[in-house]
Amino acid sequence: MLSEENIRSKMKTARCGSNVVYLYETGSTNDYAKSIAHEAQDGTLVVADCQVSGKGRLGRNWNSPHGVGIFMSLILKDGLKADKAPMITIVAAMAVMKALDRQCDNSTDVSIKWPNDIVINGKKVCGILTEMKTVGDSSQYVVVGIGINVNNESFADDISRVATSMYIEEGKRFDRSDIVCDVMEEFEKYYGMFLENENLSSIKEEYNSRLVNMNNEVEIIRQDGNYRAQSLGMDEDGGLIVRRQDGSLETVVSGEVSVRGVYGYV
């Protein structure tokens, strides 16, 4: 059972998750976090057992049933320049990957699909949606929304081709509050590294070593047309460096494009 008391008693961080708001059910933890962000303490974490209108990227829904998943949103109030905020999503992806490493069997291959999907055995187990409010060119607050499929036994036909859960991959159930606290601990560590230079230079190497489609041919999906390229890894600003078929190098930026494998999701 996910509960506020459980989460609070296991939280080891100084900042991220230093205040926890637990909701049995809400529309979307990102929306709830945004509604309290102006008065909330920096580092407040909103966690829900269920979301009735969970939001994914690109206007999609995020499947958020009771009792099986993690749906949480962290409020950060550093006043970072708005153009730095997308990098926080990369930091969150690193944090979730490391937290799942701690929980999963050593032989389980937890990896990242650029920019921020966490993948086990080629299927998505976590999605991240970062939103912010800006004043001028600075952020007033950033809300980092993280959804992890933990104890789901199955998925609807339309998403089962690309989605999985920790339970499906590991064959055992997990305590969701342990994972919430592990993610906050890892986030605090990697976020600190990011803040030193306000870029991903100290994270890049580890991130790239876990990139699921490193060196592979990928399909770059752009509004003005798709093309194939070889994925060469993330740069220190969070862009994906690719080699086009004519040999030229290009950096693609998340938000503008999606990347998928030539033969499927990864």
Residues that bind ligand BTN (CB under 6 A): 28-30, 51, 54-57, 60, 62, 71-73, 117, 127-129, 145-147
Give the H/E segment covering residue 160: helix 157-160
Q: What residue type is 167 in one-letter code? A: Y
CB of 47 to ligand BTN, least distance (A): 9
172-199 in b/e form (b: 16+ CB < 10 A) is eebebbebbbbbbbbbbbbbeebeeeeb
Within a 10 A sphere around the Cβ of 56, how many other Cβ atoms?
15
CB of 144 to ligand BTN, least distance (A): 9
Backbone angles phi, psi at 202, to 5 degrees: -90, -5
By three-state DSSP, how is residue 239 classified? coil
CB of 46 to ligand BTN, least distance (A): 9
Residue closer to ligand BTN, measured from CB, 117 or 182: 117
CB of 16 to ligand BTN, least distance (A): 15
The label of the residue with tokens 């708001």 reads 21
Residue closer to ligand BTN, measured from CB, 69 or 239: 69
Residue closer to ligand BTN, measured from CB, 57 or 210: 57
Q: What are the residues whose beta carbons fall under 8 Å from the beta carbon of 100, sequence distance 6 or more?
A: 110, 118, 120, 125, 126, 148, 166, 179
Burial class for 78, CB neighbours closer than 10 Å (0-12, 13-18, 19+): middle
CB of 55 to ligand BTN, least distance (A): 4
Residue closer to ligand BTN, measured from CB, 113 or 210: 113
Residue closer to ligand BTN, measured from CB, 50 or 82: 50
Residue closer to ligand BTN, measured from CB, 55 or 84: 55
CB of 72 to ligand BTN, least distance (A): 6
Which residue of this chain has its Cβ atom nearest to ligand BTN in the complex?
Answer: 127
Maximal C-alpha separation, the chain: 57
